[in-house]
Each structure stands twice: as structure tokens, then as C-alpha cells.
Amino acid sequence: MLKSYILFISDNVECIELFIHAVKDSGGKQKLYLSSSMADGLKKAEDISADFVFIDNMLFKAEAIDELLHVTSSIYIAFGTGKHRLDTQAHGELSTIDLNSPNVCNVMAEILDSVCLPHSQNADIGRNQNSLFDAEFLDLVIESVPNYLFVKDTQFRIVRANQTFLSLYPESYRDKVIGSTTIEDYDPDEAKEFLEKDSEAFACGYSETVERIQFPNGDSRILFTQKKKFTDEHNQDYILCIATDVTEREDLIKKLTKSNQDLERFAYSASHDLKSPLNAIKNLASWIEEDYFDAFPEGAKENFRLIKSRSIRMATLLDDLLAYSRVQKCLEDEEWGYLDVVVDSVLSVIEQSNKFTVKVVGPRLKLPRVAFQIVAMNLIGNTIKHHHKGCGEITIWVKANPKGNQISFIDDGPGIPITYSKKIFEMFQTLQSKDVIEGSGVGLALVKKVLEYYEGSIVLNATHQNGARFDVLWPACNRKT
């Protein structure tokens, strides 16, 4: 005879004793589960795929029946020691059983015998199918994962692993991996670190590391390994280990770091090596101008003005190039400051700023000081430099929210055609000839680089009229470290 799964929902000790007695004396093979509330009972009925559900009439709730019917149609109301608060209309077509009846055992036996076999058989088949599906699905997932996946027990033995992980071992050795620690196959220092991270995962629940490993098959790879503790149904502890091959990524990061260092050294060297002859040219032109300027024809005088102007522009360009190449290094040492205070300090060093009214509107915001100073210096400086009237208003509008702070720089200048909305953020790009307005074309590119460092953004607002508006998004969490 197949085992039937019975659930009794009751919080009354006497009723529970009567029910257990009735089930035991009814004969047959049963697995009995108890639940003290309807909420817990609904969950447990589904978890165990109950064949029969008996509900203490004192806990009965009509609205719960529909949910139970998804699990079994064999639902009974049990009357015991409490008041019979249910009448026939209350429980409709549901059958009842009186636990105080002298022949309750016979009634229980009839219930279980008449309905148990077909339903229990289907339930057992369903359970077996679910178990089979779970095992097959788990195997499919483990083998489909491109990462190196393995499981260790508390003795640090590998008890399960996918083929991707096993491929790290010579083919002749792969059938020996499961059940062993494989520690002896690695360098002692590497083996020590493996065990330290295993112990950390068992003790703390989780560990992770990035390490270069020389594997038994001869491969040398850099892996990002995460280890997470879990407990199985037999209360045994294990760690699930998932290792991702990051060799190419780490090599690229190493090359990129070296490239950035080379670029910084080149920019620094070029700036200083070029400034010396540039200063010599500028000084020589000034000396000649001082001694012979009055004797020069107008054409020569204009040429000397151009020499001085171009020398100043070249010096500015070299300074901007050096600043651009070193901006990340400047931002790494973060000092925080209030936005309005930084704006005041910027205005104090920009020429002609006294001819402009600058307002900060919105909540007081605290940002990385050096970073925002670079942003404000270039955006405010550009407005003053390019303003067609030589005087005007600049509004810095601040809107703070949990996802990110929006800072808009709004002016009443000549504006910028939207067709240049991308070009203006490129290196060495200016909208007017450098002979008309001095500038290196590096400023907005530098602003963009600063904001990208903090995973923020800057755009030229396409809908704003009567001037220009730059919308800056500064993430609330700033840069990830």
C-alpha cells in the first residue's frame, strides 16, 4: 500500500491527540504533518503535496479552500473539543469528521482507503518527477555555466565540479579530483591561500579573491573566485565556489595603466621641454619690441603682436594638455567642499567676473572640491569669455535626489547651435577662430573627463533658448572605489 501524506491544521492540543489516535488506529501507511495556523498550513500543504487536509473547525476559513483545492480535493472539517461554530451552510460541500465519535477510527479508515490510492499514487509520481527534474535541471545549469564551478565540504574536499573546472587538470587525473582536496597539486603558497579563503567562507559565509594560479594542466590564469557557504537538507555545510577567468581583463588593465603612466610622463616632459624655447621666443620678441617697436612699420608691429599672442596661446595649450593628462591623479585625493563656496573661489580668479551676476539656486550641495572646481572654472570661464555683451547673468541651478545631483549652468549669452552639441566636448574644438577668442579648446573635454571619472555626464540642453544651458549629472554615490 502506498504511503499517503496527511496534514492536520489545528492549534488545540486535545484535538491533535484525538486526530493522531484516529489516524494510527485506522491502519494503513501514512505520513502525518501538523500545522498550527491556516497560513502555515497552506504553505505546508503545497510543500509536501498533501493527499489529505483536515482542518480544525475553529481555524476554518472559507477563503483558504480555493488555495487548498490546487493541492488536493480531499479536504475535511474536523470537529473536536471546541464549539461547533460551523454549520452545513458554512462549509458547503466539504465533508466533516467528528473526532469524538466512537467509530472515528473506522470513519478515518474509510476516508483513507476510498480516496488515498489514486491521489497518493499521483502525488508520489509527481514528487519523483519533481526530484528527477530538479536533479537534471541542476546538472544542466552546472554544466552550462562557462565559469569554473565546484563544491567543497568542510574537509576542503571537492565533492562536485563541472567539466569546465575539471578541464584544468590533466585528462588522466580528472576522475580523481572528486573526493580529494587537490591541494598537493599546487604551489604551497597558492594552496595556503586556497585554504584561507575556504576557511573564511565557512566562518563568515562568503569570501572572494583575485589571484593568478598555475594549474596542473600547465595553464596560468588569473581568476576572480567567489565562495559562498550553504547547508544541505541533511544539515551539512558546504561552500559553492565560482571562479571567473579574468586573465584578459587584468592584462588589459595592466597595459592601460602603463599606457596612462606613459602618457602622463610624455605630457609632463613635452610641457616642460616646449615651454623653455617658447618662453625664450616670447622674451626675445618682447626685448626687440621694447628697443625697436617705434621704428617698425605697422605690418611688423602687428606681426610682433601675433607672436606674443600665439606664444601665450601655446603656453595655455601646454598647461591644459598637462592638466588633461593628469586629471585622474588630481581627483584620486578627494577633498570635499560646498558648491557655493567653490563657485566663489572660482569667481575670484576669473578675469571680468565682476561684470557678471552669478546665482546659486537650490539645496546646499557638497561635492569633491577639486573636481567641481575644474567643472565650474571651465563652464563659468567659457560663459564670461564668449559673452557677446561682456556682462550678464549666470545661474547655477541645483536639484538633489537619491540617484544623482543635477547641476545646470545657465547663461544669457549668445548660445550654442545644437549642431555642435557633440563637437564642443572634443579636444581642441572651438566655435570661433582662435585668433578671435583665445582658447585651447580643451576646457569642455576636461569637464567631460572629470564627470566620466565620477560616472556622471554633461550635455548641452537642446530646448533652452536665449543663452546656453549645460546640464551636469553628478551621481549621488560619486565614484565607485
Q: Please tell me the predicted confidence (pLDDT) of residue 244.
A: 92
Q: Please tell me the predicted confidence (pLDDT) of residue 85.
A: 41
Lowest model confidence (mean pLDDT) among 22-31, 153-162, 176-185, 350-359 = 22-31
pLDDT(131) > 70: no
Say if residue 100 is in the same domain as residue 152: no
Say if residue 12 is in the same domain as residue 124: yes
pLDDT(132) > 70: no
Say if residue 156 is in the same domain as residue 68: no
Say if residue 337 is in the same domain as residue 462: yes
Give dist(CA 359, CA 355) in Å, integer: 13
**Stretch (H or E) spanning 460:** strand 457-460
Q: What are phi and psi of 6, to 5 degrees?
A: -115, 135
Mean pLDDT in residue range 317-332:
70
Last residue of one domain, picked from the residues 139, 155, 181 = 139
| Three cell numbers, residue 413 | 549669452
Tell me the pLDDT tens digit for each residue of 144-154: 888 999 999 99
Tell me the pLDDT tens digit for each residue of 378-393: 999 999 988 989 899 9
Mean pLDDT in residue range 42-53:
87
Give dist(CA 140, CA 132) in Å, integer: 12
Compute the C-alpha angle 75/79/83, nearest 5°: 135
Say if residue 149 is in the same domain as residue 99: no
Tell me the pLDDT tens digit for each residue of 269-312: 766 677 777 888 888 888 888 888 888 888 888 888 888 777 77
Q: If 0-12 CB within 10 Å is exposed, 13-18 middle and 19+ buried, where does residue 54 land?
A: buried
Last residue of one domain, picked from the residues 245, 280, 300 = 245
**Stretch (H or E) spanning 119:** helix 104-144
Q: Which of the two residues, 258 and 384, has the higher pLDDT score? A: 384
Query: For the whole model, what pTM was predicted?
Result: 0.46
Q: Is the distance from CB of 414 to CB of 387 less than 8 angstroms?
A: yes
Compute the C-alpha angle 29/30/34, nearest 5°: 165
Say if residue 126 is in the same domain as residue 266: no
Q: Please tell me the predicted confidence (pLDDT) of residue 88.
A: 36
- Report which of 354, 363, 431, 342 is spatially closest to residue 394, judged by C-alpha positions: 354
Say if residue 30 is in the same domain as residue 95: yes
Q: Please tell me the predicted confidence (pLDDT) of residue 21.
A: 84
Give dist(CA 398, CA 199) in Å, integer: 49
Mean pLDDT in residue range 96-109:
82
Instruction: Name the band, by pLDDT with cuts 50, 70 and 90, for residue 120.
Output: very low
pLDDT(476) > 90: no
Say if residue 206 is in the same domain as residue 349: no
* H, E, C per residue of 203-260: HHCEEEEEEEEECCCCCEEEEEEEEEEEECCCCCEEEEEEEEECHHHHHHHHHHHHHH
The CATH number covering residue 224 comes to: 3.30.450.20
The CATH number covering residue 376 comes to: 3.30.565.10
Q: Please tell me the predicted confidence (pLDDT) of residue 119.
A: 46
Lowest model confidence (mean pLDDT) among 61-65, 423-427, 437-441, 443-447 = 437-441
Mean pLDDT in residue range 455-465:
91
Greatest alpha-carbon pair distance for the chain in Å reads 135
- By residue range, what is the domain housing residue 90? 4-139
Last residue of one domain, picked from the residues 108, 139, 170 = 139
How, if at all, do strands 220-231 and 237-245 pair?
A: antiparallel
Q: Is the distance from CB of 398 to CB of 451 less than 8 angstroms?
A: no
Give dist(CA 462, CA 194) in Å, integer: 56
| Three cell numbers, residue 17 | 491527540
Say if residue 258 is in the same domain as residue 198: no
Alpha carbons within 13 A on the beta-carbon side of 462:
5
Say if residue 436 is in the same domain as residue 301: no
Query: Percent of the chain having pLDDT more than 70?
Result: 85
Number of residues in the chain: 481
Q: What are phi and psi of 419, to 5 degrees?
A: -65, -20
**Stretch (H or E) spanning 34:** strand 30-35
Q: What DSSP letter does each residue of 52-103 carry, written as one string?
A: EEEEETTT--HHHHHHHHTT-S-EEEEE-SS-----HHHHTT-EEEETTSTT
The CATH number covering residue 117 comes to: 3.40.50.2300
Residues 6+ apart with CB under 8 A from 237: 153, 154, 202, 229, 230, 231
Mean pLDDT of the chain: 82
Mean pLDDT in residue range 165-185:
88
Q: Please tell me the predicted confidence (pLDDT) of residue 135.
A: 64
pLDDT(356) > 90: yes
Say if residue 30 is in the same domain as residue 101: yes
How, if at all, do strands 4-9 and 52-56 pair?
A: parallel
Q: Please tell me the predicted confidence (pLDDT) of residue 83.
A: 47
**Stretch (H or E) spanning 123:** helix 104-144
Instruction: Name the band, by pLDDT with cuts 50, 70 and 90, for residue 90.
Output: very low
Overall domain count for the chain: 4
C-alpha distances in Å from residue 458, one per residue of 113, 176, 424, 432: 76, 58, 11, 21
Say if residue 291 is in the same domain as residue 347: no
Q: Please tell me the predicted confidence (pLDDT) of residue 16.
A: 86
Q: Please tell me the predicted confidence (pLDDT) of residue 84.
A: 44
**Stretch (H or E) spanning 23:** helix 13-25
pLDDT(418) > 70: yes
Tell me the pLDDT tens digit for each residue of 1-43: 456 788 889 888 888 888 888 888 877 677 888 988 888 888 8
Q: Please tell me the predicted confidence (pLDDT) of residue 478.
A: 55
Lowest model confidence (mean pLDDT) among 41-45, 56-60, 132-136, 195-199 = 132-136
Q: Please tell me the predicted confidence (pLDDT) of residue 91.
A: 45
3-state secondary structure of 417: coil
